[in-house]
Amino acid sequence: MTTGTADAAFAIHDVTAGYGDSTVLSGVSLALRPGQVTVLLGRNGVGKSTLVRCMSGLLPVRTGQLLLGGEDVTNRPAHVMADLGLGVMPQGKRMFPSLTVAENLDLGYFTGRRRARRHCASTLGWSQERVLELFPVFADRMRTRAGSLSGGEQQMLALARAMTGAPRVLVLDEPSEALSPARVGELGRLLAGLRGEGLPILLVEQNVSFACEQADVVYVMDKGQIVMEYAGADIAEHRTVIHELLSI
């Protein structure tokens, strides 16, 4: 699959990765662009989170290259990737449950401030007012322990935390998993707003309908490879094909 990456905010070139003796990803290439939601769809176990781990600096890339804003960031450790502006909402357990909402958010602010100090004074993390404007549910719950929030609220807190770091690229691994339809709608509106501000977003999903509604570009992964790529109007046109691919 060919992917032009000259204008990419984050580009993945021909990446191979795996665990121990097993190879999970082979020859994966994709590009995230400013103001676009790029969706990565695939069934259970095809390698989506493995790719997110490689992007985050949590799993070594065996061959291939990662470029952030044109800079080679292949195999930089996770804290460096965060410093460079990669905001990640990982799949599954995303909270420090014994810390309060405010303390969880502080972890993100720390990253944003540290990055601002090192790179550019104008990119301070989002203010608390901005976070509460987008996530009003936390306004009177800053001292609540994260572990006592509902599952959906914990997911929203994980997203809020990724945003406090003022990321220049945002990666969300199955953010709609186990959310109520109302919260999925809320998530969709949030993503649309962030995309409108020019943020490049990678949205890893299994919820085809939700993902296709958000997407500017859709990649379908199967057995560690990108097997389909659709953009713009082609996404709606091929939604049935995409559904079928994911249900085989």
Ligand X SMILES: Nc1ncnc2c1ncn2[C@@H]1O[C@H](COP(=O)(O)OP(=O)(O)OP(=O)(O)O)[C@@H](O)[C@H]1O
Helix 151-164, helix 101-118: angle, nearest 10: 20
Site pattern 178..207 for ligand X (x: CB under 6 A): ----------------------------x-
> Which residue stretch of 28-36, 43-51, 211-219, 231-239 sits at the interface with ligand X (rule: CB under 6 A)?
43-51
Residue 165 is a binding residue for ligand X (CB under 6 A): no
In the bound state with ligand X, the residue whose beta carbon lies nearer, of 91 and 100, is 91
- Residues 234 and 232: their CA atoms lie apart, in Å, by 5
Choose the stretch contacting ligand X; rule: CB under 6 A; options: 44-52, 60-68, 106-114, 163-171: 44-52
Q: Using the rule CB under 6 A, is 46 a contact of ligand X?
A: yes
Shortest distance, CB of residue 51 to ligand X, whole angstroms? Answer: 7
176 lines the binding site for ligand X (CB under 6 A): no
Locate 87 and state its tokens: 């905001």
From the list 60-68, 70-78, 83-91, 149-157, the region that binds Mg ion by CB under 5 A is 83-91
137: closest CA among 190, 99, 91?
190
Q: Using an 8 Å Cβ cutoff, are 42 and 85 in contact? A: no
44 binds ligand X (CB under 6 A): yes
Q: How far apart, in Å, are the Cα atoms of 93 and each of 35, 147, 158, 180?
A: 28, 10, 9, 17
DSSP state of 126: P
Q: Is 115 in the site for ligand X (CB under 6 A)?
A: no
Mask 29-68, x = binds Mg ion (CB under 5 A)? Answer: -------------------xx-------------------
User: What residues from 54 to 73 belong to the interface with ligand X (CB under 6 A)?
Assistant: none
Tell me how far CA of residue 245 lies from CA of 7, 52, 227, in angstroms. Answer: 29, 21, 10
Q: What share of the chain is helix, strand, coil (3-state, %, to 5)?
A: 40, 25, 35
Q: Please give the structure tokens belonging to residue 28.
A: 């994966």
Residue linked to tokens 């061959």: 63
Q: Which residues bind ligand X (CB under 6 A)?
A: 19, 24, 42, 44-50, 91, 206
